[in-house]
């Protein structure tokens, strides 16, 4: 079997997860890294035994000895760093969100379609067995027509040092600054929970109303070069094309939680509860006669292949894979409309 040769673009913290995942897949070779930071690139390549390193995309394309790219650059540069690879006919797995705005995201989706290459957005919670089984049950009609849902993504790195000190580390500070390309918690994890809920519910988003909140976190609202103006929490109402409506919220202020996601789906024939807490996946259901007594039972969930493995399999089989760039663009449209909705404000109650 001919190996699939992968380049990793951007060798910061998240790139380690990509490298470890690819190295666990038979028949995959990580042949190069790309980073403008020479020291970071050298350390990354040494850690993972990667033979080649490039300071620019142009250098890597001139070399050309690779099949696919994992784009692990910051959100704001996904668009301009992905398009050259698509134009060169390379398969691309891009970190989420796909782009900084819908116009850029749809351009990427159209470029990928024209190129005829495998394109995938790394919405990593598609790796959760309970979510995938819930989506299967909904698609099979096991809870009837979905009418209502509620979903949450809870993080706490602004209130507890689980991942380090965000006040002194650039890998966290940029996520709090719009000038550094961040869409705040909405873009960082909101894209995950919106996908999580609408994918399992089996329908695309239709309309959105949202409120974004940025909390005071430092004197003068900044730390060094970072103006801390990106949103820290959001609360959203979302309706779907199948008529279902629901609420979604996410925050970095959920003390006592690391990366915990919950989803409850309510249909005309039953309900589902999806939980993913401390890397443990759980699905519970109340269907059939159990509805009459409000009894909930655990559901067995088969293991699923990780996004990286499905990306590689799609390259080998010459077919597309979900979630693709078109899905990423559709989610980006929700994020853009959420920001627009928030800008319209809400009515304050005055005594």
The pLDDT of residue 347 is above 80: no
Does one domain contain both 114 and 153?
Answer: no
Sequence length of the chain is: 351
Does one domain contain both 105 and 237?
Answer: no
Helix, strand, or coil here: 57? helix
Q: Give the separation between CA 280 and CA 130, rounded to whole angstroms.
A: 9
Q: 286: domain CATH number?
A: 3.30.360.10
Burial class from Cβ neighbours inside 10 Å (0-12, 13-18, 19+) for residue 306 reads: middle
For 236-260, write each residue's pLDDT tens digit. 999 999 999 999 999 999 999 999 9
Q: Give the separation between CA 162 and CA 258, rounded to whole angstroms.
A: 7
Q: What mean pLDDT is predicted for residues 78-93? A: 98
The pLDDT of residue 90 is above 90: yes
Does one domain contain both 133 and 282?
Answer: yes
Whether residue 337 lies inside any domain: the answer is no
When divided into structural domains, the chain yields a total of 2
> Comparing 9-13, 179-183, 211-215, 291-295, which segment has the lowest mean pLDDT?
179-183
Does one domain contain both 113 and 148?
Answer: no
Does one domain contain both 176 and 85?
Answer: no
Domain of 195 in residue numbering reads as: 129-303
Does one domain contain both 153 and 38?
Answer: no
What are the angstrom distances between the C-alpha of 19 and each of 32, 109, 127?
11, 25, 17
Whether residue 344 lies inside any domain: the answer is no
Mean pLDDT for all residues in the chain: 96
- Predicted pLDDT at 81: 98
Per-residue burial over 108-147, b = 16 or more CB atoms within 10 Å of its CB, e = otherwise = bbebbeebebbbbbbbbbbbbbbbbbbbebbeeebbeebb
Does one domain contain both 273 and 146?
Answer: yes
Whether residue 343 lies inside any domain: the answer is no
Does one domain contain both 149 and 298?
Answer: yes
Does one domain contain both 254 and 182?
Answer: yes
Does one domain contain both 165 and 294?
Answer: yes
Contacts of range 277-284, beta carbons closer than 8 Å, 24 or more positions apart = 281/128, 281/129, 281/130, 281/131, 282/130, 283/129, 283/130, 283/133, 283/134
Whether residue 342 lies inside any domain: the answer is no
Q: Give the separation between CA 157 and CA 147, rounded to whole angstroms.
A: 33
- Predicted pLDDT at 72: 97
Largest CA distance in the chain: 73
Does one domain contain both 135 and 168?
Answer: yes
* Measured distance between the N- and C-terminal CA atoms of the chain, rounded to whole angstroms: 73
- Predicted pLDDT at 346: 73
pLDDT band at 305 (very low <50, low <70, confident <90, very high): very high
Question: Among 344, 337, 329, 343, which residue's Cα sits nearest to residue 107?
Answer: 329
Q: Are strands 233-240 and 91-95 parallel, antiparallel or unpaired?
A: unpaired
Does one domain contain both 94 and 170?
Answer: no
Q: 112: domain CATH number?
A: 3.40.50.720
Q: What mean pLDDT is predicted for residues 159-174? A: 89
Q: What mean pLDDT is predicted for residues 22-36? A: 97
Q: What predicted TM-score, i.e. pTM, was given to this entire model? A: 0.93
Whether residue 138 lies inside any domain: the answer is yes
């Amino acid at each position: 079997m001919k190996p699939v040769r992968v380049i990793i673009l951007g060798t910061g913290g998240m790139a380690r997860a990509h490298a470890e995942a690819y190295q666990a897949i038979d028949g995959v070779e990580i042949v190069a890294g790309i980073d403008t930071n020479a020291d970071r690139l050298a350390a990354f390549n040494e850690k993972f035994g990667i033979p080649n390193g490039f300071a620019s995309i142009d250098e890597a394309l001139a070399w050309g000895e690779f099949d696919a790219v994992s784009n692990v650059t910051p959100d704001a540069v996904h668009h301009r760093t992905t398009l050259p690879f698509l134009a060169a006919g390379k398969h691309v797995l891009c970190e989420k969100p796909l782009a900084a705005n819908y116009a850029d995201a749809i351009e990427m989706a159209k470029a990928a379609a024209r190129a005829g290459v495998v394109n995938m957005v790394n919405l990593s919670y598609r790796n959760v067995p309970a979510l995938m089984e819930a989506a299967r049950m909904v698609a099979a009609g096991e809870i009837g027509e979905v009418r209502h849902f509620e979903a949450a993504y809870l993080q706490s790195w602004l209130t507890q040092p689980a991942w380090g000190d965000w006040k002194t580390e650039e890998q966290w500070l940029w996520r709090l600054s719009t000038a550094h390309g961040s869409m705040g918690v909405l873009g960082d994890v909101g894209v995950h929970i919106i996908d999580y809920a609408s994918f399992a519910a089996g329908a695309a988003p239709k309309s959105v109303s949202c409120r974004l909140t940025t909390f005071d976190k430092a004197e003068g609202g900044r730390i060094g070069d970072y103006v801390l103006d990106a949103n820290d929490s959001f609360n959203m109402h979302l309706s779907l094309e199948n008529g279902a409506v629901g609420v979604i919220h996410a925050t970095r202020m959920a003390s006592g939680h690391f990366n915990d996601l919950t989803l409850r789906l309510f249909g005309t024939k039953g309900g589902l509860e999806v939980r993913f807490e401390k890397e443990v996946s759980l699905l519970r259901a109340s269907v059939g006669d159990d509805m009459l007594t409000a009894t909930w039972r655990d559901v067995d969930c088969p293991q699923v292949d990780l996004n990286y493995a499905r990306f590689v399999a799609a390259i080998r089989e010459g077919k597309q894979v979900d979630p693709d760039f078109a899905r990423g663009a559709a989610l980006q449209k929700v994020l853009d409309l959420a920001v627009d909705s928030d800008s319209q404000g809400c009515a304050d109650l005055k005594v």
